[in-house]
Structure 1
Amino acid sequence: MGRRGAEEVVREFVGLPSPLGGRAGAGGHPCQGVYHRPAAGPPPRTAFIAAHYDVDFSEHYLAEHLARRGYGFLGWNTRFRGNGAYFLLDHALAEIGVGVRWLRERAGAERVVLLGNSGGGSLMAAYQSQAVEPNVAPVAGMRPVEAVEDLPAGDLFVALAAHRGRPEVLTAWMDPSVTDETDPLSADPALDPFDPANGPPFDEEFQRRYRAAQRARNDRITDWALDRLADLRGTRARDQVFAVHRTWADLRMIDPAIEPSDRPPNRCYAGEPLRANYGVFGIAATCTLRTWLSMWSLRTSQCTAAPHLARVTVPSLVIHATADEGVFDSDARALFGALAAADKRLEFVRDDHYLRRSRPQVADLIDAWVRDH
Structure 2
Amino acid sequence: MTTTDPFLGGSRPFGLGYWPLPDDDPGVGVQREAVRLVSPDGALVRGVLWTPPIGTPWKTAVILSHPRGDFSVHYACPLLAAAGYAVLGFGTRYMNNDTDCLHEACITDVQTAHDEMVRRGAEAVVLLGNSGGGSLMAMANAELGIGDGWVGMAAHPGEGVFMLQVIDPSVIDEADPFATNPELDMYHPDNGWRPWPEPCTYDPAWVERYRAAQIERVARIDAVAKESIDASREVLADLQTVNKGDDPAAWRELRRRAVFTKYLTIYRTLADPAYLDLSIDPDDRAMGSLFAFPDPFDANYGRGGLARTMTARGWLSTWSGLSSGARLADTMPQVKVPTLLIHPTADTEIRVWQAKEIVAATGA
Q: TM-score, normalised by structure 1?
A: 0.80
8 Å contact kept, 1:269–1:326: no
Q: Distance in 2 between matches of 1:95 and 1:5?
A: 29
* Aligned partner of residue 85 in structure 1, secondary structure: coil
Find out whether 1:157 has 2:150 as its counterpart: yes
- Inter-partner Cα distance in structure 2 for 1:252 and 1:125: 27
More divergent stretch after superposition (234-243 vs 275-284): 234-243
**Structure-1 residue corresponding to 2:215:** 215
Superposed CA deviations along residues 48-88 of structure 1, whole A, max 9, x for unmatched, are 11111111111111111111111111101111111211111
Match among 126, 129, 134 for residue 116 of structure 1: 129
SS in 1 for 2:343: strand
Instruction: Confirm or deny: 8 A CA contact 2:31 2:54 kept in the other structure.
Output: no
Partner of residue 251, structure 1: 273
Shift in CA distance, 89/5, structure 1 to aligned 2, threshold 3 Å: closer
Q: Which residue of 1 aligns with 2:88?
A: 74
Structural RMSD (CA)? 1.6
Structure 1 counterpart of 2:49, one-letter code: Y
Alpha-carbon contact 2:129-2:151 (below 8 Å) kept: yes
Q: CA deviation at 1:242?
A: 1.9
Tell me by how many angstroms 1:232 deviates: 3.8
Choose which of 293, 310, 313 in structure 2 pairs with 1:287: 310
Give the Cα–Cα distance (whole angstroms) in 1 for the partners of residues 30 and 126 of structure 2.
Answer: 19
Offset of residue 305 of structure 1? 1.1
* 1:18 equivalent among 39, 52, 56: 39
2:359 and 2:128 map into 1 onto residues whose CA distance is 15
The 1-side partners of 2:25 and 2:314 are apart by 42
Deviations 1:95-127 (A, max 9, x none): 110100111112x21111110110111110000
What do the CA deviations read for 1:222-267 (whole angstroms, capped 9, x no partner)?
Answer: 0111112233442414212221111111111121110111111233
Q: Which has the larger radius of gyration?
A: 2
Alpha-carbon separation, structure 1, partners of 2:339 and 2:288: 33
Q: Are 1:242 and 2:264 counterparts?
A: yes
- Aligned runs of 1:1-373 on 2, under 5 Å? 5-21=26-42, 30-106=44-120, 108-132=121-145, 153-199=146-192, 200-233=200-233, 234=235, 235=254, 236-237=256-257, 238=259, 239-270=261-292, 271-341=294-364
Gaps of 5+ in 2: 1-23, 193-199, 236-253
Distance in 2 (alpha carbons) for counterparts of 1:42 and 1:266: 44
SS at match of 1:318: strand
Deviations 1:280-334 (A, max 9, x none): 3322111001111211223321011111100111111111001101011011111
Separation in 1, partners of 2:359, 2:305: 27
Secondary structure, aligned partner of 1:8: coil
Q: Is the 8 A contact 1:43 1:109 kept in 2?
A: no
User: Is the 2:35–2:47 Cα contact (8 Å) retained in structure 1?
Assistant: yes
Determine helix, strand or coil for the equivalent of 2:310: strand
Q: Counterpart amino acid of 1:246?
A: R
Contact 1:4 1:69 in 2 (8 A): no
Q: Which amino acid aligns with 2:224?
A: W
The separation in 2 between residues aligned to 1:266 and 1:91, in whole angstroms, is: 33
List per-residue Cα deviations over 1:139-170 (Å, max 9, x = no partner): xxxxxxxxxxxxxx211111110100121100
- Alignment partners' CA distance in 1, 2:144 and 2:42: 21
Q: CA–CA distance in 1 between the matches of 2:264 and 2:330?
A: 28
1:36 and 1:64 in contact (8 A); partners too? yes
Moved runs in structure 1, 4+ residues, more than 4 A? Answer: none
